[in-house]
Amino acid sequence: MLYLDKIIIKSKKNIKNCQDISQIKNLKIKLFGKKSELNKYMKNFKYFSKEKKIILGKKFNKSIKIIKKKLKKRQNFLEKKLLKLEINKKIDISLPGRSKLFHGNLHPITQTINCIEDFFNKFGFISINGSEIEDSYHNFDALNILSDHPARNINDTFWFDKNRLLRTQTSSIQIHILKNKNIPIRIISYGKVYRKDYDKNHTPMFHQIEGLNVDKNINIIDLKNILKSFLDYFFEKKVKLRFRSSYFPFTEPSLEIDILNKQNKWIEILGCGMVHPDILYNAKINTNKYSGFAFGIGIERLTMLRYGISDLRIFFENDLRFLKQF
């Protein structure tokens, strides 16, 4: 019997003895690897005559095909056998899944926005958003912000051209609403605003919520009462606060609210006031009949105070160690 025939018989026997897929894979390496008997046999071809090489070469190629076919057939048989065993296994469907699911949390900024919305919606305020790209009229002119005001400077504001800019405040939304003259008006407008500033207390993009209430007989007592109630609701306790006179171009009188922190220091928290008569007049609203109040809240500032965060920039760094705390 030729040496090649002995290799074929031996290979067939080894293939038949394979009982799992891993044995099949190991046998493939043993049969066709560099140190295999078939490889050694092929290297001896150089010692044969040309005629003998042709005869043995054909037989060798035929034998390789037979071995590969047997391997494939045995592998298919073992795979089907394994699949049948898996199918016939009893499965307890009441067992919990192997992989643990991790549910994400809302970002603290989003949680603050939701909390503010929940409060003011209960008092009939409708939530409205607007375009982040504004024109100078709605962002500045209609809000009594003079042409030489520092906020209009290219060093403070992101301008596209002489007229268009990234809004610096959500108050611009109020002008769009006032122009519709659908009184009574009771809205909160929120979203991103943009200013050229960056340190631990400022970022180029941040969030604001503005409130506006225009109706008959609206006065400053209404403003103070609702903001006092809101701060108690937001911080989940009675907050010690003070109203301090201030100046904003779009309100008259204007106030700022400070709250007393744990270190007994007054911290500025928001600005507010009665809507300036010129704002209503420019929107063609009868100032003898209607009045209103407005307020502006920095979302990041409130969130920092609520959770004791000292650096504003951490809100935008996507650090999971920070975000998982919420």
Report the pLDDT averaged over residues 143-153.
84
Query: What pTM does this model have?
Result: 0.64
Q: What is the pLDDT of residue 2?
A: 66
Q: What are the tens digits of pLDDT across the range 91-114?
A: 777 767 666 666 778 889 999 999
Q: What are the tens digits of pLDDT across the range 46-55?
A: 777 777 777 7
> On the CB side of 31, how many CA atoms lie within 13 Å of its CA?
24
| CA 308 – CA 225 distance, rounded (Å) | 26
Can you give the C-alpha Rg of the chain in angstroms?
A: 39
According to DSSP, the residues that pair with 97 across neighbouring strands are: none
Q: What are the tens digits of pLDDT across the range 268-291?
A: 889 999 999 999 988 889 999 999
| Cα separations in angstroms, 318 against 36, 106, 258, 310, 321 | 56, 12, 30, 16, 9
In this structure, how many other beta carbons lie within 10 angstroms of the beta carbon of residue 277?
13
Ordered by where they begin, the domains of the chain are 3-88 (no CATH), 108-323 (3.30.930.10)
